[in-house]
Structure 1
Amino acid sequence: MIAAETFVDEARSRGFAWYTGVPCSYLTPFINHVLQADRLRYLSAANEGDAVAISAGVTLGGGRAVTMLQNSGLGNAVSPLTSLTWTFRLPQLLIVTWRGEPGNPDEPQHELMGRITPQMLETMDVPWADFPSDDAAVGPALDTAVAHMDRTGRPYALVMHKGTVAPYTLRDGVRPPAAPGGAPAPEAAGAPAGALPTRREALQRVIDRTPEGSTVVLASTGYCGRELYALADRPNQLYMVGSMGCVALLALGLALARPDVHVVALDGDGAALMRMGAFATLGTYGPPNLTHLLLDNGAHESTGGQATVSPNVSFAGVAAACGYPVALEGDDPGLVDALLDAPAADGPRFARLRIGTGTPKDLPRPTVTPPEVARRLMSHLAGRVAEPSAAEPGR
């Protein structure tokens, strides 16, 4: 195990001053250190492909950049790694965490990518080595990476195993800069941080207004699904694992296929930022039986609490511009009631509720597996007599 500063200092001496990526729990101490280090810049990317493109731009400007991502995010990064960095010879150092590494038990969503991570990198012509796990190996590992980057003009990857970097605490208040003229941070939006509603309070209101017989609730990956499960494990609920940013799109397909059911998608700020194009798709094709509720705590909480850029975004403004007929936002928990109790509109309904950070201690993980949850929900829906689908590919 190494200290984060050991790697960062060695990397800085070789010209690496820019970092970007998407958090992973393996990367938490590493990102936390970079966020608080002098003379370094960390950009919180919406998705892994965006991070690769940002680093390519740094290279184009004469700098050296490090892109940090979980191996599940390699799928998002395939296009820029194969058509941007490879084509234009814009090298960068990739730090890829090896979730689901064979022999190292992990969550079910990491199993397949864990098996194929080396082949994924090799297929994309990205040579790789293990991320150094002792101080003496850091310099040589970086020298090998830099030599390849300088010789070929293409990326090099260090694959990080679990527990490689010692913990590093993130100070309170470390967040991206405010956008000029952007929306105020949650603390300034009508309630001090400590007075913001909790995720649990918002989820309980959702449960109270989503009867099993007529409603389906799909919860985003991370603590949202886990806390919903802890509050009430119901057959009309699905807890997303992996597939970050896809919950609203999953809900769209279900709502179109089953117009007789009210489908509620519970999203998060990091997930929504990762696939903001989904707002345009839902605004165009979303039916009246679809409700999209975004619980925004301004943080990637399940990976250590790194700030997102959500305080600079009016998600309701985005939703309205993309065609949602109902688009609300605020920090009053009554917003959940207003959204779910509102009459059906000519299209999907959206609300962004600002919530505080914080998660109940010893929050359980679902004991039902993802396939079991899906089969249970499908069986539950099969128990309803579905109306003939009149959904069209638009409104």
Structure 2
Amino acid sequence: MTNATPALPADLLDRALRDRGVDRFAGVPCSYFAALIPLLQQDGRYVACANEGAAFATACGFSLAGAPGAVLLQNSGLGNLVNPLTSLSAPYDIGVLMFVSHRGDPDGPSDEPQHRLMGAATVPLLDALRVPNWQLSPNLDELGTTLDAALDAVRSGRTAALVVPRGVMAKPAPAEQLPETSQRPGTEDVVAALGALLRDELVVSTTGFTSRWLFAGADRPGNFYMQGSMGHALSLGLGLALSRTDRRVFVLDGDGACLMHMGALGTVGAQHPGNLVHVVLDNQQYESTGGQPTAGARTRFEDVARASGYRWGGRVTSLSDLKPVLEHVGSQPGPALLVIETTAGAGAAPPRATASLDPDAIRARFMTEAAG
């Protein structure tokens, strides 16, 4: 993409796809698609899925119904959809059109550490999986030709991918700043309050803004900041809790991340670690990718936890309730799950932990603390 080529407007891409019979989408948000997803949501043409494998299978369902299904995903999520791609789409010749954002593109601008390996592997992985792929260009003269080639493959029963580099899709217009009317506390306030209550606990914080706010306001060697690996904070915390039964382990999770691999709650319930406390910050959106709504507005995580075998599950809606509830949770054996209802943070989030610490430094100091 050159400086002389304007970014591709979301409505133009949507119109070109509709003209070619592509009208149903499923996905997991990426900021590269921050303008496209709300456009599709306006008339119910986008299904927000818990993870990329579920999104891909949903799109296969669209295709089985007669019109090509499409998936929007970040390339980090390719690993989540390899199974349905190779064991559903391929053997049954069910074609799906994938839009894959290319985070960590080795030929693009510098990106975060968690994107570099998958960035370099994205196109080779698609090639290895026999997925024909093209790079999406903002050049309007190329757009129709690229879409036609990809959809020819899809209609022949093959999944095809359009790889989307940074800057190809136009950004959304700035959202109108409406006055905050919710009584829920902001994410940064909740994380600050939690940080003030920590003592010698080992803490795993999920990817996204949660880890940013925790690092900015309550950094300590016993915090492990996850960047990437969305949905796996709980399983990482479970391994720690089972290995260090003498230390209490806190997992700071998000609603979108918890939804992504909710089966981990069943594993925690089966293993029953008495030293594990699972905190879910529930703002009902993917805040770090543009505020797209999650699929969990009706999900009562505390009910799912109790049904999965957690000893305790509860919910708070205000900071004033947080300390007494955590004291109650800390006085009894776990596993316990606490949902804290939050709103999106005000203003820009602080930098990621890796802006100051290399990932290996985060790991090394945490391991030293965990061994103590």
Q: Same fold (TM over 0.5)?
A: yes
Partner of 2:359: 370
TM-score for both structures, normalised by structure 2: 0.93
Q: Distance in 2 between matches of 1:262 and 1:335?
A: 21
Residue identity opposite 1:376 in structure 2: R
Which residue in the other structure is 2:309 paired with?
A: 323
Matched, 1:194 2:182: yes
1:17 aligns with 2:60: no
Q: Confirm or deny that 1:314 pairs with 2:319.
A: no
1:229-272 residue CA offsets vs partner (Å, 9 max, x unmatched) = 11121111111000000001101100111111111000001100
Give CA-to-partner distance per residue, 1:170-206, whole Å, 9 cap, x none.
8689xxxxxxxxxxxxxxxxxx952111112211221
- Using the TM superposition, name which of 47-56 and 305-314 deviates more: 305-314
Question: Paired residue for 1:239?
Answer: 225
2:53 and 2:84 in contact (8 A); partners too: yes
Residue 362 of structure 1 and its aligned partner are, at CA, apart by: 5.4
SS at match of 1:293: strand
CA distance in 2, matches of 1:257, 1:69: 34
**1:88-110 deviation line (CA, Å, top 9, x unaligned):** 11111000011111133101001
Where does residue 207 of structure 1 map in the other structure?
A: 195
Q: Is the 8 A contact 1:289 1:344 kept in 2?
A: no
Distance 1:341 1:311, change over 3 A: same
Query: 1:361 deviation in Å?
Result: 2.8
Contact 1:292 / 1:349 at 8 angstroms: preserved in 2? yes
The answer to whether structure 1 residue 295 and structure 2 residue 281 are counterparts is yes
Q: CA RMSD in A?
A: 1.7
Matching residue of 1:117: 122
Question: Contact 2:102–2:166 (CA<8 Å) still a contact in 1?
Answer: yes
**1:73 and 2:62 aligned:** no
CA contact (8 A) 1:326 1:345 kept: no
Please report how far the alpha carbon of residue 47 of structure 1 lies from its aligned counterpart in structure 2 after TM superposition.
Answer: 0.3
Measured in 1, the distance between the counterparts of 2:214 and 2:235 equals 19
Aligned to 2:4: none
2:41 maps to which of 22, 35, 48: 35
Normalised TM-score (structure 1):
0.87
| AA aligned opposite 1:353 | I
Helix, strand or coil at the partner of 2:34? helix
8 Å CA contact 2:276, 2:334 repeated in 1: yes
1:163 aligns with 2:167: yes
Q: Which moved more, 1:339-348 or 1:63-72?
A: 339-348
Conserved? CA contact 1:299–1:307, under 8 Å: yes
Matched, 1:356 2:343: yes
Deviations 1:146-180 (A, max 9, x none): 111223x011100000010111248689xxxxxxx
* 1:103-143 deviation per Cα after TM superposition (whole angstroms, max 9, x unaligned): 33101001111111111111111010001222222211111
Q: Shift in Å at residue 81 of structure 1?
A: 0.4
**Which residue of 2 is the match for residue 84 of structure 1?**
88
Contact 1:291 1:340 in 2 (8 A): no
User: Gaps (5+ residues) in structure 2?
Assistant: 1-6
8 Å Cα contact 1:218-1:240 kept in structure 2 = yes
Q: Give the Cα separation in 1 of the matches to 2:91 and 2:365.
A: 46
Q: Is the partner of 1:309 in helix, strand or coil?
A: coil
Q: Partner amino acid for 1:310? A: G
| In 2, Cα distance between equivalents of 1:271 and 1:89 | 31
- Which letter does structure 2 place at the counterpart of 1:368? L
Rounded to whole Å, the distance in 1 between the matches of 2:32 and 2:230 is 17
For 2:333 and 2:349, locate their aligned partners in 1 and report how far apart those are by CA, in whole Å: 42
Give the unaligned 5+ runs of structure 1. 174-191, 385-395
Aligned length: 360
Contact 2:95 2:159 (8 Å CA) reproduced:
yes
